[in-house]
Amino acid sequence: MTAERELRQLVARAGQVLAALGLVDYLGHASARVPGTDRVVVKPKHSPTVRSTAGLGPERMIIVDLDGRLLEGGPGGTDRPPAEVFIHTEIYRARPDVGCVVHTHQRSATLAGVLGLPIEPVLHVPATFLDRTPPTWPNPVLVDTPELGRALAGALGGERFCHLQGHGIVSVGEGVREATVGAAMLEQLAEAALTAASTGTRPRVISPHEIATLRGQVAGVEGRWAYFCQLAGIEEAA
């Protein structure tokens, strides 16, 4: 399988996983950069025929360049890039280390961003995904221009996650599995942060030293990706 074909499949599966976890509906999108190129595989803009990401297979993914211009529009060539394609393209420009960008409006992480509530490493498995509480980009508008995409990429900096305050989050990673599982891990920690805040009790935060130990103990993303694929009804998780 070519890299691009494999990435079409992975990006489609990311959408299916995110939908199964309730992190996206018809909005929200994952993308992947085809290594060594300026080509980006991304979910198309929603339309009467592009509905829940749960129902979109690899053949429905589209290809854009780093200016967000459509290169391949899917079957019939009629699908269009998401309005917020610049979230993806400008992060790829700013971060050569990033191969996948996931953007969601996932409820708990978004609400934590609205409240300015720190998302902290309080649960042992997802803690391994969090180096620091995610930075916040205080802007709820659609990221529908390259300028806004650059501003968001600047707020993200070298981090794994960023709040789009009042809007959603981005999760980035070297690969599709990492960025997608990362979004799920962030949501678990955000749920914990919100619940802890409602009790008024300060949670016990896992220390950087303990996180380093945990990183050597817990499995990588592959097992969690396979589990989430199973939840999404995907037969072959490889």
Report yes or no: 15 and 60 within 8 Å, Cβ to Cβ: no
Q: How far is the CB of 84 from Zn ion (least distance, A)?
A: 5
- How deeply is 149 buried, as exposed, middle or buried, from its count of CB atoms within 10 A (0-12, 13-18, 19+)? buried
Stretch 146-205 residues interacting with Zn ion (CB under 5 A) = 168
Q: How far is the CB of 105 from Zn ion (least distance, A)?
A: 6
Q: How far is the CB of 165 from Zn ion (least distance, A)?
A: 12
d(CA 6, CA 81): 20
d(CA 129, CA 81): 29
Q: How far is the CB of 94 from Zn ion (least distance, A)?
A: 18
Nearer CB in complex with Zn ion: 15/168:
168
d(CA 196, CA 177): 28
- Report which residue's Cβ sits closest to Zn ion: 168
Nearer CB in complex with Zn ion: 88/224:
88
Q: Which residue has 């949501």 as its token pair?
A: 187
Nearer CB in complex with Zn ion: 149/168:
168
Q: How far is the CB of 18 from Zn ion (least distance, A)?
A: 13
Q: How far is the CB of 82 from Zn ion (least distance, A)?
A: 8
Report yes or no: 173 and 99 within 8 Å, Cβ to Cβ: yes
User: Residues with Cβ < 8 Å from 1, sequence gap 6 or more?
Assistant: 9
Size of the site for Zn ion (CB under 5 A): 1
User: Residues with Cβ < 8 Å from 126, sequence gap 6 or more?
Assistant: 185, 186, 188, 189
Nearer CB in complex with Zn ion: 126/168:
168
Nearest Cα residue to 228 out of 172, 175, 178, 160: 178
Note the residues at the interface with Zn ion (CB under 5 A): 168
